[in-house]
Amino acid sequence: MAMIYFEDLNAGDSWTSGDLTVDADEMLVYSRANDPWPIHVDPEVAAKSPFGGLIASGGYTITLMYRLFHDIANRPDRKWVFLGGFDWHVKFPEPVRSGDRLHARITILEKRASSKPGRGIIKSRTEVINDRGGVALSLEVASMLATRP
């Protein structure tokens, strides 16, 4: 298995995940347990909202982003030596709905050495894109990766 260290990533590098389809039951279970606003759990109320129907909560959309991210960075054949993310800047330009087919695109924007040994910092953009070509989530985040031993 290839280990991907800080030194292996460069500004401009980009990857695209496989697809996943948003499951209506899973979306509702998540929202009922974690974010039970009517636009996420009540079809009648949601139908009368500006969204015209149920939409996924932001938390569930982030969960889906994590799944798609792991399809890129945490695979059986390669693993990023990821130490954590911080300084999140997240946007939800379009709602996620059950049945949407989503994929993620990750792009490295910049990188720099950390002041602490054994790690480097990358700034990346992750976009979750629906089957209509719309961006449902955009995240710019600073993350730490281990440097090559």
CB-CB contact of 104 with 80 (8 Å): no
Domains of the chain from N-terminus onward: 2-146 (3.10.129.10)
Q: How far is CA 120 from CA 9, 16, 123, 145, in A?
A: 10, 23, 10, 5
Supply the Cα-derived Rg of the chain in whole angstroms: 17
* The predicted structure's pLDDT at residue 23: 98
* The predicted structure's pLDDT at residue 6: 98
Q: How far is CA 122 from CA 24, 54, 117, 138, in A?
A: 35, 35, 15, 16
Q: What is the mean pLDDT of residues 41-51?
A: 97
Mean per-residue pLDDT over the chain, rounded: 97
* The predicted structure's pLDDT at residue 34: 98
Q: Using 50, 70 and 90 to split pLDDT, how confident is the model at 49?
A: very high
* The predicted structure's pLDDT at residue 19: 98
Q: What is the pLDDT of residues 55-100, one digit of tens each?
A: 999 999 999 999 999 999 999 999 999 999 999 999 999 999 999 9
Q: What is the pLDDT of residues 118-129, one digit of tens each?
A: 999 999 999 999
